[in-house]
Amino acid sequence: MTTARDEILARVRSALSGVDRTPPLAPAPRIAAVPDLVGHFADRVEHYRAVVERCAAADLEATVAAALARHLPAGSGTVVVPDGLSFDVPGAVVDGAAGPGLTALELDRVDAVVTEAAVGVAETGTIVLDHGAGQGRRAITLVPDRHVCVVRAEQVVPDVPDALARLDPTRPMTWISGPSATSDIELDRVEGVHGPRTLHVVVVDPG
């Protein structure tokens, strides 16, 4: 026996037949436009307890030298740089220039590493290395206790989707948000367990 409810439901089904009832996908939220994107990036990086300073391109080598002097014991120590770095770091050991590069034991004796970056993400304060020229192997940025990383203003993008659009997904990547830290033991923050204890970011302004 057909009831009034059955008839109503049958009419509804008939009316909806052929209608695509899949809900439309909402667009991915994006951050609002930031007037000073590079300044926002610097603030976010500093929020993660990294040291941040900005300089002009002409002052890059002097700024990096001062950063190393600030962090190295008594202003001295062993510094490693990747092959293909676009500026000079006097006295540094070049990793991979003539062979496979320094061993893990040799890297453990290195006091600092200086590299460039592929991308800087303003919203998250994240630096991305894709280990091309001037960035080196992952090991040289994970073993030494101090990392001085150079990010150029034109490499800074608003958020992660913009960063991914610039990166080659087939390349190895290292995403860095501040010094290495963990709170696994009794929720106490300990830095330097899984990578550099000190991150010093030099942001190079255009001009």
Nearest to 37 by CA among 51, 49, 54, 50: 54
Do the domain assignments include residue 166?
A: yes
Cα 201 to chain centroid distance, Å, stands at 11
Which of 26-35, 48-57, 67-76, 176-185 has the highest mean predicted lDDT (pLDDT)?
48-57
Position 1 in a domain: no
Does residue 51 register a pLDDT over 50? yes
Into how many domains does the chain fold?
A: 1
Residue 3 pLDDT > 90: no
In the prediction, which pLDDT does 22 show?
64
Whether residue 157 contacts residue 167, with contact meaning beta carbons closer than 8 Å, is answered with: no
Here the tokens at position 131 are 């280990």
The answer to whether position 97 is within a domain reads yes
Question: What is the rounded CA–CA span in Å between residue 151 and residue 201?
Answer: 7
CA distance 154 to 175: 18
Neighbours of 202 (CB within 10 A): 22
Query: What's the confidence (pLDDT) of residue 167?
Result: 96
The sheet carrying 126-129 orders its strands as 156-157, 119-121, 126-129, 174-176
106 in any annotated domain = yes
Most confident range, picked from 19-28, 99-108, 150-159, 195-204: 150-159
Say if 102 falls within a structural domain.
yes
Does any domain span residue 7? no
Q: Is residue 28 part of a domain?
A: no
CATH of the domain at 140: 3.40.50.10420
Domain residue limits at 186:
34-205
Q: What pLDDT score does 131 carry?
A: 94
- Residue 71 · residue 113 · CB < 8 Å: no
Least confident of 57-61, 98-102, 141-145, 202-206: 98-102
Q: Mark out the alpha helices in 17-101 (DSSP H runs).
A: 37-47, 60-71
Tell me which residue of 69, 79, 162 sits closest to 115, measured CA to CA. 79
Tell if the pTM clears 0.75, that is, is over it.
yes
Instruction: Look at residue 70 and tell me if it is in a domain.
Output: yes
